[in-house]
Structure 1
Amino acid sequence: MERTYPLMHAKLEKQSFNEFSYVFKWNGKDTSMAPYVLMAHLDVVPVEAIAESKWTYPSFSGKIEKDTIWGRGAVDDKSSAIAIMEATEQMLENNFTPERTFYFCFGHDEEIAGKRGANIISQWFKEKNINPAFVLDEGGMIDTEKFKDVQRPVAVIATGEKGFVNVDISVAIPGGHSSQPEKETAIDVLNKAIVRVREKQMPPIISPPVKSLLEKTAAEQSFVKKIAIANMWLFKNLVIKGMEENKQTNAMVHTTLVPTIVKAGIKDNVIPSIANATFNSRILPGQTSDDVVNFVKNAINDERVTVKKQTISLMEASSSTPSNHPSFQMLESITQKIVPNVLVSPYLLIGATDSRYFRPFSDAVLNFTPMQNAKGFHGIDERIGVTDLSRMISFYKLVLAEK
């Protein structure tokens, strides 16, 4: 970083947190103004060894082929960090000084809840009594594929994000030799419990950010959809049913629950005595982690299954920044400058980001980067267009120059 961005390291104040997380401070002309915070994280999720051969290019190669950068972290979230630093370095080369002070916060453990990175950084902000007027982190993007009826690019800026909780379920039934199985084993009971949880969904909620998204996009859609959105009191269930047909829009109106870890057994001829599974849940505003646990217990309805909530990475759903906030309007204006004919809308972030640690003491927290139709994040062939990275650099330059 120091070799690539020498001016940034020479002219900005830098602090390290737990060795690998960094905060840069760029003093503005008017120190009486509350600062802005730009965020990104430097860590990435791993690549499964078995999936490496399925990548078009080696997963950590950073291969640039034509207009595409390939590799883990290209989307999530090294591109944001690089775009922030590129924008800063270029502006320093021109002896630019921002009107207000900016902090750049780069965490190193966002993918494992940010406890030693963004969490510690946010505590430092609180100890120093630094209350940002605006925090910008990863999240929303530009889409031209999911809103086909709109027929123009849609930039979704997240004004809030879902919560996060892991729920463990466990079954203990004496095992034995696989040649003499009982009618039900620990694995049998666990499997039935998993199926029961997955058969139903928690009650739907249309949160304020999702309602705004529906209203914004409905204005550009068919007459029937306009009528439905304009009369939610009558057509709410119909609108929700339509959103449930797609996994991404379904996640906007439901608290989701999915098993991500299943463990049982140590040998092929031994029936295990204990079988465990972990559900990952993303919680809608208006529902809580306790609601999730109660839903799981009621869905399983079997006293042999123990249900326990993990607390180490628990985060309840966040509050939302109003879409009429000046910071949202600023991002809307900047996005319209760099993306022709774009429709800008608020929405609810279905994942979780480091910025959640700043929500309790910041006036506004928004999640957005102007990359378009990002591909492969957390999966195979993660990649971003060179034109997207260039657009992101231009975007951050405009944010830094904002008066």
Structure 2
Amino acid sequence: MLKKMIWIAAIGLLLLLAVLTVRTLSFSPVATTPVTPVTLNVDVATVSQHLSEAIRFQTISYDNSAKRDVAKFRQFIQWVQQTYPLLQQQLELTPVNELTLLYRWKGQDSTKAAVLLSAHYDVVPVTPGTEKLWQQAPFSGAIADGFVWGRGAMDDKGAAVSMLEAITLLLQQGFQPPHDVYLALTHDEEIGSSEGAAAVSALLQQRKVNLAWSLDEGSFVLRQMVPGVAADVASINVAEKGFLNLQLTVQSPGGHSSMPPAQTAVSILALALTRLTDQPVAGGIDGLTADFYDQLGPHMAWLQRMLLANRWLFGPLLEHELSKIPTANAMLRTTTAPTMLTGSIKANVLPQQASAIVNFRLHPRDSIDAVLAHATQVIADPRVELSVVQGMAASRVSDKQAAGFARISEAAQRAYAAPAGTAATDLIVVSGLTIGGTDSRMYEAVAKDSYRFNPMLLTSAELGGFHGNNERISQDNLHKAVLFYHTLLGSL
């Protein structure tokens, strides 16, 4: 009997291994048609100089809009108009508001659905006291070591300048698009887009302009940032997360710290925050996340391919391991991040009120109400009052099968095509999810599809410059970005 059971177990194991192997072997990259690299003469030194000049305008967005130096924004607009005269001569500048620019490039047939390219030129502040940690001064626009340095180089003046340069080249070549093309340069993306992109969207709605698609910032070409994938990965994101700022408040009698009760307002609040972070919103490899890994999995090494090809068996293990990686975890679920705390006004005074703000980044599968219900259930303490400070649902999911996605993908592949005769691996293009917020969510009202992608190659070291120290973009990236936008617009 025992021998028979061993034989049955062995046969079952062999069958399981066979199933795993067959599924892994069939989980292979889809054959693609080779693309022709872009051949275009780009004056990289001039592009770099123009970005350097753009960075020097301290177009800083503060949470307190009263701190905005409007003069710096006006100076940037004047600089755009002086630096790119062909745009002023051949494109129609549509008044939106004082600080956001919207250009209309009239096409051969304006009855066809238009497209919109967008970038923002406002930047986040440099944290006071960190200036000395920068290798180049934050607003110097220094060109050194093959990079252009400064706040906004990546987020998002690099893209804005690259678009302007590409359109200028096309105008010099006498190109006219087959349909209208709109270019938006917005001024308040870093503080919610309530004036810039929102006004652009409202104006286009008022004029009954229908956009086939829009393209704004999002992900990048990622190098050695996807575990198990050796090739560069271009993630053209088809959706973005929403957010919920939830305030937790605890009331207490207060008093002198020499006679504390068993639990103070602070300790009750701390326990609530610990519960929220220890019990995150349920995630999973499904929907957009599953699609992302289904596209990347075939390009991975054997072990990773096997795990992803057989999620029916290894799904819980995969989710557990991916949850340990912050970027991967953000793709899996709605994330939970306590960000702000207030308590007593003095070290020896028990607070009468302690409060915290928790920032949730909402996965498209979750709603604001669902996350609020989750927080209430997890905290399970009536002494903790929950109130929604601000929230926005996740975007809708755009179509990765649509013509717009295909054109963006082709332009990226051509800009980053491996030179003939080299051992370099061609670019892998996937659809993904933007884990932050962009202007794109404002364009959904007028665009059938909204895509999020910056055509610049980043490593994890460069990614750290986002809203941090030593923000910079390589001159090679600027070259590739101009190639991308020129190819994208020139092939419409």
TM-score bin, normalised by smaller chain: over 0.9
In structure 2, how many angstroms separate the alpha carbons of the residues matched to 1:227 and 1:58? 48
Which residue number in structure 2 is paired with residue 53 of structure 1? 132
Which residue number in structure 1 is paired with residue 453 of structure 2? 368
* Aligned: 1:23 with 2:108: no
* Aligned: 1:357 with 2:414: no
Range moving further from structure 2, 235-244 or 289-298: 235-244
Q: Which amino acid aligns with 1:377?
A: F
Q: Which amino acid aligns with 1:356?
A: R
In structure 2, how many angstroms separate the alpha carbons of the residues matched to 1:192 and 1:372? 42
Does the 8 A contact of 2:266 with 2:354 survive in 1?
yes
4+ residue runs over 4 A deviation: none
Displacement after TM superposition at 1:207 (Å): 4.2
Does the 8 A contact of 1:132 with 1:361 survive in 2?
yes
Which residue number in structure 2 is paired with residue 401 of structure 1? 490
* Aligned: 1:142 with 2:227: no
Q: Secondary structure at the match of 1:380?
A: coil
Does the 8 A contact of 2:205 with 2:445 survive in 1?
no
289, 300, 305: which one aligns with 1:226: 305
Structure 1 residues 199-235: Cα deviation after superposition (integer angstroms, max 9, x where no partner)? 1211113343322221122112233322332232332
Q: Which amino acid aligns with 1:365?
A: S
In structure 2, how many angstroms separate the alpha carbons of the residues matched to 1:132 and 1:95? 24
Displacement after TM superposition at 1:49 (Å): 0.2
In structure 2, how many angstroms separate the alpha carbons of the residues matched to 1:58 and 1:236? 47
% identical aligned pairs: 33
Q: Secondary structure at the match of 1:335?
A: helix
In structure 2, how many angstroms separate the alpha carbons of the residues matched to 1:103 and 1:322? 21
Which residue number in structure 1 is paired with residue 413 of structure 2? 336
Range moving further from structure 2, 2-11 or 206-215: 206-215
Return 5+ residue gaps in structure 2 as ranges: 1-79, 419-425
* Aligned: 1:96 with 2:175: yes
Which residue number in structure 2 is paired with residue 391 of structure 1? 480
Range moving further from structure 2, 34-43 or 199-208: 199-208
Q: Which amino acid aligns with 1:344?
A: V
* Aligned: 1:242 with 2:331: no
Which residue number in structure 2 is paired with residue 378 of structure 1? 467
Q: Secondary structure at the match of 1:393?
A: helix
Which residue number in structure 1 is paired with residue 398 of structure 2? 321
Equivalent runs, 1:248-267 vs 2, <5 Å:
248-267=327-346
Does the 8 A contact of 1:207 with 1:285 survive in 2?
no
Does the 8 A contact of 1:252 with 1:350 survive in 2?
yes
Q: Which amino acid aligns with 1:79?
A: G
In structure 1, how many angstroms separate the alpha carbons of the residues matched to 2:293 and 2:285? 10
Does the 8 A contact of 1:205 with 1:284 survive in 2?
no
Query: If each structure's helix is expressed as a fraction of its own residues, which one has the higher value?
Result: 2
Range moving further from structure 2, 50-59 or 163-172: 50-59
**CA RMSD, 1 decimal:** 1.6
In structure 2, how many angstroms separate the alpha carbons of the residues matched to 1:337 and 1:210? 26
Which residue number in structure 1 is paired with residue 120 of structure 2? 41
Q: Secondary structure at the match of 1:191?
A: helix
Which residue number in structure 1 is paired with residue 74 of structure 2? none
Does the 8 A contact of 2:96 with 2:203 survive in 1?
no
In structure 1, how many angstroms separate the alpha carbons of the residues matched to 2:191 and 2:184? 17
In structure 2, how many angstroms separate the alpha carbons of the residues matched to 1:141 and 1:66? 21
In structure 2, how many angstroms separate the alpha carbons of the residues matched to 1:200 and 1:171? 20
Range moving further from structure 2, 246-255 or 108-117: 108-117
Which residue number in structure 2 is paired with residue 210 of structure 1? 289
* Aligned: 1:279 with 2:364: no
Q: Which amino acid aligns with 2:485?
A: Y
Structure 1 residues 74-122: Cα deviation after superposition (integer angstroms, max 9, x where no partner)? 1111111111111112222333222221101122111111111111211
Structure 1 residues 125-168: Cα deviation after superposition (integer angstroms, max 9, x where no partner)? 11111110010010021111212522111111101111111111
Task: Compute the TM-score of the two structures, normalised by the length of structure 2.
Answer: 0.79
In structure 2, how many angstroms separate the alpha carbons of the residues matched to 1:141 and 1:147? 12
Q: Which amino acid aligns with 1:135?
A: S
Q: Which amino acid aligns with 1:273?
A: Q
Range moving further from structure 2, 121-130 or 11-20: 11-20
Does the 8 A contact of 1:321 with 1:364 survive in 2?
yes
In structure 1, how many angstroms separate the alpha carbons of the residues matched to 2:485 and 2:361? 29
In structure 2, how many angstroms separate the alpha carbons of the residues matched to 1:15 and 1:264? 48
Which residue number in structure 2 is paired with residue 151 of structure 1? 230
183, 186, 192: which one aligns with 2:265: 186
Does the 8 A contact of 1:282 with 1:350 survive in 2?
yes
Range moving further from structure 2, 203-212 or 245-254: 203-212
In structure 2, how many angstroms separate the alpha carbons of the residues matched to 1:96 and 1:220? 38
Which residue number in structure 2 is paired with residue 6 of structure 1? 85
Range moving further from structure 2, 14-23 or 247-256: 14-23
* Aligned: 1:289 with 2:368: yes
Q: Which amino acid aligns with 1:380?
A: N
372, 380, 385: which one aligns with 1:301: 380
Does the 8 A contact of 2:344 with 2:351 survive in 1?
yes
Does the 8 A contact of 1:99 with 1:402 survive in 2?
no
Return 5+ residue gaps in structure 1 as ranges: none
Q: Secondary structure at the match of 2:82?
A: coil
Larger Rg: 2
Task: Compute the TM-score of the two structures, normalised by the length of structure 1.
Answer: 0.95
Which residue number in structure 1 is paired with residue 43 of structure 2? none
Range moving further from structure 2, 28-37 or 6-15: 6-15
